[in-house]
Amino acid sequence: MARGVRVQDGRRERKPVPRSNGSLSPQRAERKDGGAAPGLRALLSEPAGLLYLQATAGNAAVTAALDPSTPPARFSVQRYDSYEHVEAGAVESFMEPAESTYMVGKGETPAQIARKLSVTVERLLERNRKKVHAFAIAGGGHEQGFEAGDTIVVPSDKLRVREPAPGETVKTDQKPVTINGVTMSYGEAMAMADFYKDFAAMEAAKPAEIKALLALVRKQVATPGSVSQADWDTASGGRYMDLNRKNTAHFAPSDARLVPASGASSGSNHKEAWEANHRLALDAAQKGDRDRALAINAFGDHFLTDAFAAGHLFNKEDLMKKVRLSLSTTEAVEAFASPVATEVFKDPASKPICSVYENVHTSFKTAYGRWSINSASRFASVLEGIDARMPDVLENSIAAAVHDDLNAKGVHVSNTKASWVVKGDDNLEPTALFYMREAVAQSQVNVLNAVGAATVDYAKAFKAVWDLAPQPDTSGRAEITKAVTDLADPKSATTVTAVGAITKANLQLIMDKVEAAGEIRKIK
């Protein structure tokens, strides 16, 4: 372990390394303590800086990683964008009444048939009115009935998911959902899980906040990419970026075939998150509260649809643990931060952005004065300082690189109905969207059929939906493990390039956030 570093509570704590005369060497401090180390390394008392990297690493970053000459256009959050969740919620035309048919026996009356099938005579006749005949009865008069051998429809209050015909263009629409007095479409309610820890938090939110977020969702739907990360963060009261940092519930359950099981998995994953919300929705439906049940279910279906993105098919906690094992020493962090910073400063635009800032920590003033962050080595100390305070930030940035690589290249998957190559997020493809909608439709059907029900079979309800979610096949598992091998290694040049591209794209935002924290200031 490097001099000037001690471990407390499992985290590295760094101290300036004194020279023999008791002063600080600017050269030594620049590399080991970043010149402004005490200030910069305390910069993350609240989500800022590279938290935006981990949350906004998108497909454009991967494009830049593969071709550094291509400037990244924009960055998406590590999950489907709002407009994609809204699209996934357009499912009502996937539903139909769960009706059956019955062949009328000789001499059977509508009343006899209705008793046998547990429906009312009125509903039976209304549903089959085109087959109703008037039969003469003894003593005069007529009564309604069916011809023997007729096949009639047995009406049902239950719903089922309709199987569209091959090539059929499915008309899609959405149920309205009301949460805390604010009405939105089912898909819009699905998108809201990006902004709240759980449904209870959303239900307790002020209507003004929900309306502000809903307005941004609708803006993003109308013009994808028109809403910035800062917009979301402001509308959510500063909560959005912190939720992005802790978004393990948007990724898959632990699977040692894909990423070595770390033993650190908390059980926070998209399957568990969806099942927990679906159970709550079924309970609310069983109590007769249909509207609240659908609102809860919409929130939970956000996590269901995350399962349809290639970049979410690994367990994020396991991956971050694997990365942390590679960054367990000060030397390893410095060995990663230095080339990333060098990658950032290869771009001529980086130095002008960083060099207008100087450190503000007074302990350095008497030694050699304040200095600007005008070199790769000084910027590397910013990255090292962030890692010293919040180790999961660099882990998240590397997880983002794996996530984006898989979403862009695709993974071979299958469900109980089909096999295909799923991509994800900004690369949402038609097959995934079709089965995503079918899964959301089945989820809604489960809830609607549970309204007022005497009992609910949770396991059966879960299975009916999850059977539609894609699972990596043999080829897909190989594709995921390759991405993990190639990109989850901090020593990999590919990883350095990918994280460097993410950093370059957000450099001004990083410096702004560090300045807002009072750890650096613009040179006067």
Same domain, 183 and 203: yes
- Is 69 contained in some domain? yes
Of 80, 32, 78, give the one whose Cα is nearest residue 397.
78
Residue for token digits 């998209």?
270
Domain ends where: 108, 133, 155?
Answer: 155
Residue for token digits 């990596």?
472
Per-position b or e across 206-235, b if 16+ CB within 10 A of its CB: eeebbebbbebbbebbeeeeebebebbbeb
Show the DSSP H helices in 29-81 as ranges.
37-40, 51-56, 59-66
Hey, is 17 helix, strand or coil?
coil
Same domain, 186 and 296: yes
**Can you tell me the distance from the alpha carbon of 449 to that of 9, in angstroms, rounded to the nearest whole number?**
51
Provide the CA 297 distance to its chain's centre, in angstroms. 16
Residues near 417 by beta carbon (within 8 Å), at least 6 away in sequence? 435, 468
Same domain, 277 and 330: no
Q: DSSP assignment, residue 521?
A: E
Q: How many CA atoms within 13 Å lie on the side-chain side of 357?
A: 29
Of 421, 400, 402, 404, give the one whose Cα is nearest residue 412.
421
Same domain, 194 and 303: yes
The alpha-carbon radius of gyration of the chain (Å, integer) is: 29
Asked if 357 contacts 371 with a C-beta cutoff of 8 angstroms, the reply is no
The CATH number covering residue 147 comes to 3.10.350.10
Of 509, 502, 514, 373, give the one whose Cα is nearest residue 46.
514
Same domain, 270 and 185: yes
Q: Provide the phi-psi class of 177: left if phi over 0, else alpha when psi is between -120 and 50, else beta.
A: beta
- Is 160 contained in some domain? no
Q: Residue 115: give the domain boundaries.
A: 99-155
The reported pLDDT for the residue numbered 171 is 66
pTM of the full predicted structure? Answer: 0.76
% of the chain with per-residue pLDDT over 90: 53
390-442 pLDDT, tens digit each: 777 788 889 988 998 999 999 999 999 999 999 987 788 889 988 999 999 99
Tokens matching residue 283? 């309970």
The reported pLDDT for the residue numbered 364 is 36
Q: DSSP assignment, residue 246?
A: T
- Is 419 contained in some domain? no
Same domain, 302 and 197: yes
- Is 216 contained in some domain? yes
Same domain, 125 and 55: no
Beta strands in 336-418 (DSSP E): 357-359, 411-414
- Is 122 contained in some domain? yes
- Is 416 contained in some domain? no
The reported pLDDT for the residue numbered 81 is 63
Sites in the chain below the pLDDT cut of 70: 1-83, 166-167, 169-173, 245, 264-266, 361-370, 517
Asked if 448 contacts 289 with a C-beta cutoff of 8 angstroms, the reply is no
The reported pLDDT for the residue numbered 265 is 59
The angle formed by the CA atoms of residues 452, 305 and 476, to the nearest 5 degrees, is 130
Alpha carbon distances (Å) from 301 to 273, 275, 323, 390: 9, 9, 30, 31
185-243 pLDDT, tens digit each: 999 999 999 899 999 999 999 999 999 999 999 999 888 888 887 888 889 988 887 78
Same domain, 358 and 496: yes
The reported pLDDT for the residue numbered 82 is 61
List beta partners, residue 307: none
- Is 438 contained in some domain? yes
Same domain, 303 and 444: yes
Same domain, 28 and 119: no
Asked if 218 contacts 185 with a C-beta cutoff of 8 angstroms, the reply is no
The reported pLDDT for the residue numbered 204 is 95
- Is 55 contained in some domain? yes
Same domain, 238 and 216: yes
- Overall number of domains in the chain: 3
Same domain, 503 and 516: yes
Of 478, 323, 288, 347, give the one whose Cα is nearest residue 396.
323
The reported pLDDT for the residue numbered 225 is 82
Query: What order do you get walking across the sheet with 419-422 strand by strand?
Result: 419-422, 411-414, 471-472
